Amino acid sequence: MKHIAVIGAGTMGNGIAHTFAQSGFHVNLIDVNEIALDKGLTTIEKNLDRLIAKSVITETQKANTLNLIALYTDISEGAKEADLVVEAATEQTDLKLKIFKQLSNISAEDTILATNTSSISITQIAAVTEHPERVIGMHFMNPVPIMKLVEVIRGYNTSNAVTKTIMELSRTLGKDPVEVNDYPGFVANRILMPMLNEAIETLYNGVAGVNEIDTVMKLGMAHPMGPLQLADFIGLDVCLSILNVMYDGFKNPKYAPCPLLINMVRAGKLGIKSGEGFYDYSSSKKAEQVANQFLK
């Protein structure tokens, strides 16, 4: 396996592309938006510079990594010869189904199709393809170049061979893969998102303020970042989407998103990406400080 296609140049997509390229794979980074591609490549360069500053990699390794990344706006051109395609588009079911149906038509029969979805059913995504046995979940954590975990999610039809290949490939990237089964939220978000939602409920009910809630969890539970700040980092729209998937999947009210979260997303207060969430990130220095908490 030498050629990787990554669909989506956002936070997760550029992080996945960075990680594969740094490990010596040829990567086609695909996005319909040229501005998003340029921004994604700039982010990769900045993150490589952070690694140089920490003496993790050299300037030569940075140059080699960037040379292995090619940019495409046409999915047919960018993905047609890939050994593995990793989809990292927006967390919307209809969009992912559309992408996988297209991939099924343009990819070779032995190409593995992976999705970085954090909650959507792998089985549902695989059902729109010609070879559902070759579809699998490969859920990286943010920031991808730093975080060790990869949730490897088997769909109902995912083959043992494909699962084994992705587990081994994840280890090649320096990650620690964990195999899980296909249920809404998988493991990471099934546990994490209700905690974040409960923190938002605690704020909504007036139990304590933003700083107080986050301080309790950081000092009392040894979390590196408080739950409200973490929700900002993930993106409040992403948190809402994941909670909705779990609520729809389980029909259990404990997964229902807090009204405060819903209203903040409607108002465009999405966290770091919009410059404001539970905290104010209008200063680029403040946003950089938050990002660096994960990059230490």
Binding-site residue numbers for NAD(+) are 8-13, 31, 91, 96, 118, 142, 273
Helix H or strand E segment including 89 = none
Six-digit token string for 262: 């819903």
Residues facing 30 on adjacent strands: 7, 72
Residue pair 62/89 in contact by the 8 Å Cβ criterion: no
Tell me, yes or no, if 151 is annotated catalytic. Answer: yes
Residues facing 139 on adjacent strands: 151
Task: Report the distance separating Cα 73 and Cα 154, nearest Å.
Answer: 29
Q: Which residues contact 189 (CB under 8 A, 6 or more apart)?
A: 118, 119, 242, 246
Tell me, yes or no, if 118 is annotated catalytic. Answer: yes
The residue annotated as part of the active site, out of 104, 139, 241, 274, is 139
**Longest Cα–Cα distance in the chain:** 55
Cα–Cα nearest to 239, from 195, 202, 280, 209: 195
Beta-carbon neighbour count of residue 284 at 10 Å?
9
Tell me, yes or no, if 205 is annotated catalytic. Answer: no
Cα–Cα nearest to 89, from 9, 23, 165, 151: 9
Cα–Cα nearest to 199, from 158, 141, 249, 239: 239
Active site residues: 118, 139, 151, 189
